Amino acid sequence: MRLTVIGTGYLGAVHAACMADLGHEVLGVDIDAEKIAALGEGRVPFFEPGLQEVLGTAVASGRLRFTTAIDEAADFGDVHFVCVNTPQRRDSSAADLRAVDAVIDALVPRLRGRCLVVGKSTVPVGTTARLSARVAELAQEGADVEVAWNPEFLREGFAVQDTLRPERLVTGVQTPWADRTLREVYAPLLRTGVPYISTGPATAELVKVAANSFLATKISFINAMAEVCDATGADVTTLAEALGYDTRIGRRFLKAGLGFGGGCLPKDIRAFTARADELGVGSAVAFLHEVDAINTRQRRRTVDIARDMAGGGFEGRRIAVLGATFKPDSDDVRDSPALAVAAAIHGEGAAVRLHDPQGMDNARAVLPVLDYVPDVTKACEGADLVLHLTEWADYRRIDPAELAAVTPTRRILDARNALDAALWVSAGWTLRALGRPTPAPLPSQQTAAGHESAVRSAEPA
C-alpha cells in the first residue's frame, strides 16, 4: 500500500519506518526541513534505540522517502496517517490541536478520490467527529475523504518494538471500508496474532487517554504509598514487590520515585480532565487532579530531601545531578522530573553539574544555566551531594567505591529507587531514597561518618 505519515517526530518517524518495514511504500512529511533532510539520508535526528537500523534499511530499500511538500503527500497515496504533536495549551490544561487542524486544512483540499485520514496523535474524545465535519467542508467535489482514529501506544525507548510487536491495535472507524483498509495496512501484524479491536472513533480516542490515565494513576498510587512509608519507616520497594505478586495488581508501573514526566502522561491526564469538564463529566475524572498533584509533589519532596542532605540550603553547594531525561533510553526532556529538580535547586543557589548519557543537548537548550559535564566522575568531582534522578543503566554500573574517591562527602539521593543501596552504603556513602528508610552506615564506616560531621561543621551557619 502507499501510505503517508504526516509529522515525523518521536511517533511519526517510528511509524513511517515501521510501515515501510512491513512492506508498504511510505512518504514521510514534516514542515521541519532539517529533520526531513536527516531522515531522507537515513539518519534519526533523535535518540531511539533500534530505530536507526529500521530507518536505514527502509530508506535504502527505496520504500521510504521524505518530503516537506504536502502536495506530494496528497498525490502519493490514499491512506494518510496524522502523527503531529498535541501538546498542552499554554493558557489551560487542554490539548493544543493546532497542528492537527493545520494538517487537515492543508491536506484535505488537495485530496482526490477515496481517501482515509487516520489520526494517531493523542486527542480529546470527539476530535474525529469534529474533524469529519471540517473535512466535509474542505474536500473537493468528487473526493470522498473519511477520518478514522488509530491511537498509538508506543513508549519512547521501546518505540520500534511497540510498533512492530504491539500488545494490541485499536482502530476507531466510521465505515466497513475504513475498517477493511486499516486491516490491510496492519495485515502482517494481524497474521502474527496481535489482538485487533475495531470500534467507533469515540471509544478509540478514549482508549488512549484512559490507558495513560490508568498508568499515571498506578505510578501516583505507589508514590502516595511512598509518602506513607516515609512517615512510618516502611519500605515502598518491598511493599510494591509484595503487591505485585497479586496478579490483579501486577508489578509493572509500581516503581516509586520522582514520578512521571514526558510528552504524554502529564499532558494527557490534564487534557482528559479539561475535556471531561467540557462534557459535563468532570467529577468522574476529578481523581486525576490528585494523581497530578501527587506526581508534582514528588519533585518538591526530592528537592526538600536534597536540601536537608545538603545541610539545610543550597547556597554555595556543589550538586552533581545524574540524569536529565524524563526516563532512561530516551533523549526527551519534555516535562522531565529530573530537569525540574535540577532547575529548582539551581534556583535556590546550588552550583549544578549535570550528566546525562543522551539528553544533555536537549536539556541545555531549555536550561542553559547549568554546567553540563559529559563524564560522570567529573560531574561528581568535589560534589557536596549527588542526585540520581533518571535511572539509566549506566548509573547502576557506577562503582561507588571509585566515585567515593572524588566525592569526599559521599552523600547520594536515589530519587528513582534504582541503585543497590547496600553496595553504596558499604562503600561509605550516606544514601537516602523516597519511601525507604535510610540504611544505617556500617560499623566500619566511622571514617565516613566522621568526615560527614567535619563537613557539616565547616558549613556556614
Least distance to ligand UDX from the beta carbon of 219, Å?
4
- Counting DSSP H helices and E strands in the chain, the numbers are 20, 14
- Read off the amino acid at residue 424: W
Q: Which is nearer to ligand UDX, 106 or 243 (CB)?
A: 243
Confirm whether 18 is a catalytic residue.
no
Q: Is residue 259 at the binding interface for ligand UDX, with CB under 6 A as the rule? A: yes
Q: How far does CA 89 lie from the centroid of its chain? A: 18
Place of cell 509529522: 7
83 binds ligand UDX per the rule CB under 6 A: no
Among residues 83, 229, 264, 380, the one annotated as catalytic is: 264
- Of 191 and 252, nearer to ligand UDX (C-beta) is 252
DSSP structure class, residue 325: S
Candidates 34-42, 249-257, 279-287, 422-430: pick the segment binding ligand UDX (CB under 6 A): 249-257
Q: Is 153 in the site for ligand UDX (CB under 6 A)?
A: yes
CA nearest neighbour of 432 among 305, 346, 323: 305
Q: What's the angle, vertex CA 435, arms to CA 347 and CA 345, rounded to 5?
A: 5
Stretch that binds ligand UDX, among 63-71, 78-86, 257-265, 286-294 (CB under 6 A): 257-265
Show the DSSP H helices in 165-200 as ranges: 176-185, 187-190
Query: Least distance (Å) from ligand UDX to the CB of residue 255?
Result: 3
How far is the C-alpha of 419 from the C-alpha of 434, rounded, in Å? 12
Task: Using CB under 6 A, pick the residue from 327, 346, 410, 432 that binds ligand UDX.
Answer: 327
CA distance 223 to 292: 11
> Does 156 sit near ligand UDX (CB under 6 A)?
yes
Beta carbon nearer to ligand UDX, 265 or 403? 265
Instruction: Please report where in the chains the cell 471540517 appears, as a residue.
Output: 134
Q: Which of 253, 289, 296, 423 binds ligand UDX (CB under 6 A)?
A: 253
- Out of 85, 121, 198, 212, the residue judged to bind ligand UDX by CB under 6 A: 212
Please tell me what DSSP assigns to residue 28: E
Burial bucket for residue 227 (CB in 10 Å: 0-12, 13-18, 19+): middle
Residue 356 binds ligand UDX (CB under 6 A): no
Q: What is the size of the binding site for ligand UDX (CB under 6 A)?
A: 20
Minimal distance, residue 293 CB to ligand UDX, in Å: 15
Residues taking part in catalysis: 264
